[in-house]
Amino acid sequence: MNRSSFIRRLSLVAAAGFASLFATSAALAQAAPPAAMRETMAIGDEPGRVSTEEVIIREGAFARQLVFFRSTEPVGTLVIHTSERFLYLVLGNNRALRYGIGVGREGFTWSGLVRVSRKAEWPDWTPPPEMIERQPYLPRFMAGGPGNPMGSRALYLGSTIYRIHGTNQPETIGHAVSSGCFRLANGDVIDLYSRVQTGTKVVIRHAATL
């Protein structure tokens, strides 16, 4: 075999190898679990950490966006899918405004039907005894403000201890991190707060239903 033929054959073998590697990488990427199914983050609340009021998730799946959403719920209803890490504000005509959220970690997820019983700007925070037992470093009370883990706004859910609220840890959106509450980036919860009234129906589901 002359030198020219050898070089051509070597080039063909290399090209085939790269094509095989690309195909394998693409298959692995398709098999990877979606971002919404990330594992629980080993992270606690950080009282005193300041996150500005304007923080908004602007890129990726958890950015606020108008989406197709088939639902029989009336306009204005909030629908939460915990396994997907999304909150939907039903707009009608098979449309909804979708927000990325952080949800309860393993053992703290729940589902049900409630209504928004109260709204608050820069809410105070009184961790329940069960939370203090798990995280003894937490304050027994913390006034509302930029360093409060409750964030810039809160929607209280019925007579439960749970809320839809902001956070001073925007990097936790899309993860299972809380003790049962649903958190949004501060800028996003401010937007949601402006659209939701007291008495609004809230449907919490583990996943979408057909």
What is the model's pLDDT at position 107?
80
Residue 127 binned pLDDT confidence (cut-offs 50, 70, 90): confident
**To which residue do tokens 């990726």 refer?**
60
Q: Please state the rounded mean pLDDT for residues 73-100.
A: 97
> In this structure, what are the phi and psi dihedrals at residue 186, rounded to the nearest 5 degrees?
-55, -45
Nearest to 164 by CA among 127, 124, 207, 120: 120
Judge whether 37 lies within some domain.
Answer: no
In the predicted structure, residue 120 carries a pLDDT above the cut 80: yes
Are 88 and 133 in a shared domain?
A: yes
Q: How many domains does the chain divide into?
A: 2
Q: Tell me which of 20 and 158 has the higher pLDDT.
A: 158
What is the model's pLDDT at position 25?
33
b/e for 180-210, b at 16 or more Cβ within 10 A? bbbbbbbbbbbbbbeebeeebebbbeeeeee
Are 146 and 179 in a shared domain?
A: yes
Q: How crowded is residue 71: how many other Cβ atoms within 10 Å of its Cβ?
A: 18
**Of the ranges 87-96, 118-127, 201-210, which one carries the lowest mean pLDDT score?**
201-210
Nearest to 126 by CA among 42, 43, 45: 45
pLDDT tens digits, 55-80: 899 999 999 999 999 999 999 999 99
Residue 111 binned pLDDT confidence (cut-offs 50, 70, 90): very high
CATH number of the domain that residue 123 is part of: 2.40.440.10
Where in the sequence is the domain holding 197, given as residue range(s)?
Answer: 46-205
Are 100 and 127 in a shared domain?
A: yes
pTM (2 d.p.):
0.75
Judge whether 41 lies within some domain.
Answer: no
Q: How crowded is residue 133: how many other Cβ atoms within 10 Å of its Cβ?
A: 10
Are 57 and 8 in a shared domain?
A: no
